[in-house]
Amino acid sequence: EHLRFALERGSKEMFVGREDQLGRIREYLASDSQLPLMIHGESGCGKTALIARAFQSVPEGIREIVRFLGVTPRSSDIRALLTSLCQELRAPRTIAEPLPTDIHELTQAFRQDLARAAAEQAVVLFLDALDQLSEADNGRQLFWIPSSLPDNVKLVVSCLSDRGESDPLSQPYSALQRRKLPAANVFNLDALSLADAQSLL
C-alpha cells in the first residue's frame, strides 16, 4: 500500500518542480552524515509528494524503504510501525527470534535490524508525516529514532512545523529541533512557485 501510494504521488507525470529540494536530498544520501534529514513545513505544502518523488529517485544499489504515516491504519501506531519496519528490514533473511511487544525492546530490535541490513547493503528509510503518529507510547517524541544512525543508513523524515507549541502535532518538530541538527540536515518546504503551480495544473 505504501509503495502504491509512493508511485501515485511521486510519478514523473504528476510531480513538478522542487529540483533544489530533490538535489539537497541527493546530497544528503551521498554524504557521510549519521543524522536524519528533516523536511518541515505547513500542512499541504507538498512534503508527501516530495518524499514520494525522492523515494523513486534513490540511486541503484541502495535499499529504499518508505512509510507514509496515516495512509494505513496501523502505520500511525508506533508499535505497529516499528514491527512492520523490522519485518521488512529482516527480509529475505530468516531471523529466529520473534519481535518483542515491549516498546523499548522493540526500539532496540529496530536499531539492531537497521544495522544488520545496512551491513549487507546501504539503506535509506523515508518516513513521511511523523505528526500523524498517535499519542500512544509517546511515539511523537521520537525516542525510537537513533541519536546516531548506523553506518550505511540514511533517514529522511517530514513533519509539520506550523503548529503552536501546545499542539500535540508539533511534538515531532520540537523533538527534532532539540537534536540541534546541522543546517544541511534541515529545510523548510515552501509553497510551490507560481510557475510550477501553473505547470502542474
**Do residues 65 and 85 touch, judged by C-beta distance below 8 A?**
yes
Q: Please compute Rg for the chain using Cα positions.
A: 16
Q: pLDDT category, 12, cuts 50, 70, 90?
A: low
pLDDT in tens, 139-165: 999 999 999 999 999 999 999 998 888
In this predicted structure, the answer to whether residue 13 has a pLDDT above a threshold of 70 is: no
Distance between the two ends of the chain, CA-based, in angstroms? 26
Question: Burial letters for 43-82: b for 16+ Cβ neighbours within 10 Å, e otherwise?
Answer: eebbbbbbbbbbbbebeeeebbbbbbbebeeebbbbbebb
pLDDT of residue 2: 80
pLDDT of residue 15: 66
pLDDT of residue 178: 94
pTM: 0.88
Q: What are the φ/ψ torsions at residue 123 (nearest 5 degrees)?
A: -125, 135
Alpha-carbon distance of 191 to 183, in angstroms, equals 20
Mean pLDDT computed over 190-200: 74
Q: pLDDT category, 68, cuts 50, 70, 90?
A: very high
Mean pLDDT, the chain, whole residue set: 88
Cβ-based neighbours of 86, under 8 Å, separated by 6 or more: 99, 106, 109, 110, 113
Alpha-carbon distance of 109 to 33, in angstroms, equals 22
Phi-psi region of 72 (alpha: psi -120 to 50; beta: other; left: phi over 0): beta
